[in-house]
Structure 1
Amino acid sequence: MSQDTPDELESDKEIERLIDEVMSSSINNDSKLTDEQYRRKMQRRKEIQDRRIAQAVPEKGLIIVHTGNGKGKTTAALGMVMRSLGHGYKVAIVQFIKGAWEPSEKRVFSDWEDQIEFHAMGEGFTWETQDRDRDLEKAQAAWEKSLEYIRNPDFHLVLLDEINIALKMAYLQIEEVLAGLAEKPPHKHVILTGRGAPAALIERADLVTEMTLIKHPFRDQGVKAQPGIEF
């Protein structure tokens, strides 16, 4: 991997400084600017942003982690799946915990059956299966299936749904998952979802989002999971 030159590093620092400078005033302060002052400020911001874009790497396959106790990890990942399908890319989804019920998203994706492979390989939540050996077996099978798609250059995006739970429960070892991710072709994106993502995975990832639980209808109101929202 090439190292940044001193000039490039200095340029990055200058861009960060300019962004801080431009963004230091609050929205309330912006409302007090004259039209001309506001125009000049936004013009300066655009110049800075254009410089950042010009320095950006054109393309890179990303390792993306969605974790945290809040809702929306899989939902956000499925949004990326939809975008990829819209661009005509091939996508693979492997679900590690889910599988005891038919995911509604699988029915939707049947319209893209020539672009997508969908495998729900779990048997439900661990407190429902109550069989650790069986859970281990299913997680290992899901990981082997995942590796097929991670290694396959024809697939642009691979979603490993709830794999973080499998790691947290020690159904998979982080070392084997990191080794598998290292085998992906340079252009491929891999999304790993689930709460409790291990620190080593977060360190390896290019993009990490933590969903924060603020309110939840089940916890706060006793509202059960509903079709179209949770499943």
Structure 2
Amino acid sequence: MSENHDETAGMSEAELARHSEKMAKKKQAREKIMATKTDEKGLVIVHTGKGKGKSTAGFGMIFRHIAHKKPCAVVQFIKGAMVTGERDLIEAHFSDLCQFFTLGEGFTWETQDRARDVAMAQKAWEKAKDLIRDERNSMVLLDEINIALRYDYIDVNEVIDFLKNEKPYMTHVVLTGRNAKEELIEIADLATEMELLKHPFRSGIKAQQGVEY
């Protein structure tokens, strides 16, 4: 049963008429607002927060680009050699539309070598800049770059300056990872914070294929 049917169930004819009139006015107002939204531009999009879904949301947009035959690219800053379903799928079937680079080696507590982590993050950032500058790419996903920024592997001011002054006007750039810097959120066109309500890890459940990777 549809939500609209539930809302109107049991209404009299007069009430149904008033409801229809109310909905028609809402539709008219909505269409009037939408008619003013005519501009297009490449967006700076930030997905952050302690909740799950930041990278997943970014990859959702990458797959939309692929579905629309729009060239795009992904740079992973932290995940390193970890196998992910997204990377396997893109490299196996969509490498002609999406370039994929995994340049991180995990977290410092895994590598135990901050200098190496910084070097790898810098290398990933240089690749990211090249991909963003290439106007053939409609979107570039910088997966987990916020973590690299949080630990100062990359200077946030350099990233902001590049996005403001060198990013092509129509190129979308998506930056994921928890603890996004306030300066980055400030310049973003779209910023979303994923809020953690519950997590299976707290119940002793490990990361699972098809859910986390």
Same fold? TM cut 0.5: yes
| 1:92–1:117 contact (8 Å) kept in structure 2 | yes
**RMSD after superposition:** 1.6
Name which of 138, 154, 157 aligns with 1:172: 154
Alignment of 1:142-157 (within 5 A): 142-157=124-139
Equivalent residue letter for 1:200: E
For residue 105 of structure 1, report the CA deviation from its aligned partner: 1.1
Matched, 1:194 2:177: yes
* 1-structure distance, mates of 2:25, 2:10: 18
Q: Deviations over 1:154-190 (max 9, x none)?
A: 0000000000000100101111001121211111100
| 2:8–2:16 contact (8 Å) kept in structure 1 | no
For residue 31 of structure 1, report the CA deviation from its aligned partner: 7.1
Equivalent residue letter for 2:27: K
Q: Counterpart in 2 of 1:16? A: none
| 1:88–1:115 contact (8 Å) kept in structure 2 | yes
Q: Counterpart in 1 of 2:45? A: 64
Q: Counterpart in 1 of 2:3? A: none
* 2-structure distance, mates of 1:196, 1:184: 23
User: Structure 1 residues 30, 65: CA separation in 2 closer, same or farther (over 3 Å shift)?
Assistant: farther
User: Structure 1 residues 97, 45: CA separation in 2 closer, same or farther (over 3 Å shift)?
Assistant: same
For residue 30 of structure 1, report the CA deviation from its aligned partner: 7.5
Q: Counterpart in 1 of 2:113? A: 131
Runs of 4+ in 1 over 6 A off after TM superposition: 28-33
Equivalent residue letter for 2:167: K
TM norm structure 1: 0.84
Q: Counterpart in 1 of 2:22? A: 41
User: Structure 1 residues 66, 43: CA separation in 2 closer, same or farther (over 3 Å shift)?
Assistant: same
Equivalent residue letter for 2:171: K
Unaligned runs of 5+ residues in structure 2 are: 1-5
TM norm structure 2: 0.91
Name which of 80, 83, 86 aligns with 2:67: 86
| 1:150–1:180 contact (8 Å) kept in structure 2 | no
Equivalent residue letter for 1:143: W
Alignment partner of 1:66: what SS?
strand
Matched, 1:77 2:47: no
User: Structure 1 residues 30, 193: CA separation in 2 closer, same or farther (over 3 Å shift)?
Assistant: farther
User: Structure 1 residues 32, 48: CA separation in 2 closer, same or farther (over 3 Å shift)?
Assistant: farther
Aligned length: 203
Q: Counterpart in 1 of 2:104? A: 122
Unaligned runs of 5+ residues in structure 1 are: 1-27
Matched, 1:181 2:163: yes
Q: Counterpart in 2 of 1:14? A: none
Matched, 1:51 2:32: yes
Matched, 1:218 2:201: yes
Q: Counterpart in 2 of 1:163? A: 145
Alignment partner of 1:59: what SS?
coil
| 1:159–1:190 contact (8 Å) kept in structure 2 | yes
Aligned-residue sequence identity (percent) comes to 49
